[in-house]
Amino acid sequence: MIFLLAVAIQKITPLYLISINIIHNKSLTKHELSICIIIVHFNLIEVKNYRISTVKLALNKQFKLISRPIGLPTRDDFEYSETSIPLLNEGELLVKSEYISLDPAMRGWMNEGKSYIPPVRLGDVMRAGGVGCVLESKNGKFNKGDFVHGLLGVQSHSVSDGKGMTKIDPNLAPLPLYLSLFGLTGMTAYFGLLSIGEPKQGDTVLVSGAAGATGSVVGQIAKIKGCHVVGIAGGQKKCDYIINKLGFDGAIDYTSGNVASALKTNCPDGIDVFYDNVGGDILDLVLTMINLNARVVICGAISQYNNTTPIKGPANYLSLLVNRAKMQGFIVFDFASQYKEAAVQMGQWMAEGKLKSKEHIVEGIETFPETLLMLFSGGNFGKLMIKV
């Protein structure tokens, strides 16, 4: 308020002095002129600062990784801060995050050690995908008002040189869909199943984490390809959903009952493709039921990500030998050059009513550490993201 008053006084005073002198038909005295010059000069500085201040008023809310979690991450592994937003250099753009994607992979990025991508350094903003709107741009490829997808981090505002940023069109699909079906989980499902799993009509396809962002899309695409599709998920609600809403042929609730006998009932002809998101005991068990030339897709192993003891590998791996089967891991980024083609195909399936997407949106970036844990407790139902 005081600031605005000061700006107003600074704007008005020179005008007042000049107009008074015009009314009285006389020129400004030396003294009056210098007051005007000083005020106008200060006014210009203040107006410039005011522009900075409007950006500064919207503080950047961010979470930095400050320690490497042992087991499940806790709020203490992160530092929350609200900092000012820096001015842009040439070639940069300022993005306001709208939705931040929460992914199980983030847990791996917090660990030291070699992986497909370097770990997040301690003190750095936690890495995360997101979609947002360009607030300012000094980069010729992006304009103010553009919507973009990229690694925006767990923060409300990010400054980028534009590398890795893709323009998206909110008129073609609502923004959350660019993190779900048309985002990494949709792409993961598409390429993991079709390129690694190679499903054929009539195959039995089993998917774990079946009600999740990736698993639910895998099952639906397998149905489109004419397969008998069975999902493994936690709880009756999720099992009902994949059968009744997504058209799976069978569902197994791994949290209750005997999974081995449920697998036999639901997959009477054995398993041709196992798309595994979970690892651990379920992978081990399924290996005992695969068919000749089966394909086991190692997409993830969420049951192992927070282990404080060594990761549990499959004891039954010789089943691969006996069945001349293959087990292959993959990283979705390897298919980046084909994302567009997948999005077009999935968009068409969606328009035809063959593919559904479910998002689980939690309000408020401040909730990040606790919201992330939903992935590991099964608390999410659909693609988990934060609305900033």
Q: DSSP string of 201-258?
A: TT-EEEEESTTSHHHHHHHHHHHHTT-EEEEEESSHHHHHHHHHTT--SEEEETTSS-
- Euclidean distance between CA atoms 184 and 189, whole angstroms: 9
Residue-wise DSSP of 30-88: HHHHHHHHHHHHHHHHHHHHHHHHHHHHS-EEEEEE-S--SSS--GGGEEEEEEPPPPP
Provide the 3-class DSSP secondary structure of residue 327.
strand
Q: Which is nearer to ligand NAP, 98 or 103 (CB)?
A: 103
- Residue 197: CB minimum distance to ligand NAP, A: 12
- Among residues 227 and 384, whose Cβ is nearest to ligand NAP? 384
Q: How far is the CB of 14 from ligand NAP (least distance, A)?
A: 60
d(CA 107, CA 72): 8
Binding site for ligand NAP (CB under 6 A): 103-105, 184-185, 188, 209, 211-215, 233-235, 238, 277-278, 299-300, 302-303, 330-332, 375-376, 378, 380, 383
Q: Is 116 helix (H, G, I), strand (E, B) or coil?
A: coil
Q: Are 124 and 64 in contact (CB under 8 A)?
A: yes
Which CB, 60 or 188, lies closer to ligand NAP? 188
Q: In the bound complex, what is the minimum distance in angstroms from residue 181's beta carbon to ligand NAP? A: 11
CB 142 to ligand NAP: min, Å: 26
Q: How far is the CB of 144 from ligand NAP (least distance, A)?
A: 32
Nearer to ligand NAP, 60 or 371 (CB): 371
DSSP letters spanning 265-277: HH-TT-EEEEEES
Q: How far is the CB of 173 from ligand NAP (least distance, A)?
A: 18
User: Distance between CA atoms of 243 and 373, rounded to whole angstroms?
Assistant: 26
Cβ-based nearer residue to ligand NAP, 44 or 336: 336
Output 297 or 350, the one with its CB closest to ligand NAP: 297
Nearer CB in complex with ligand NAP: 67/328: 328
Nearer to ligand NAP, 39 or 221 (CB): 221
Tell me the closest approach of the beta carbon of residue 379 to ligand NAP, in angstroms: 7
- Residue found by looking up tokens 């081995």 in the block: 260
Q: Is the dihedral of CA 335, 341, 344, 346 positive or negative?
A: negative
Q: What minimum distance in Å lies between the beta carbon of 381 and ligand NAP?
A: 7
CA distance 104 to 302: 7
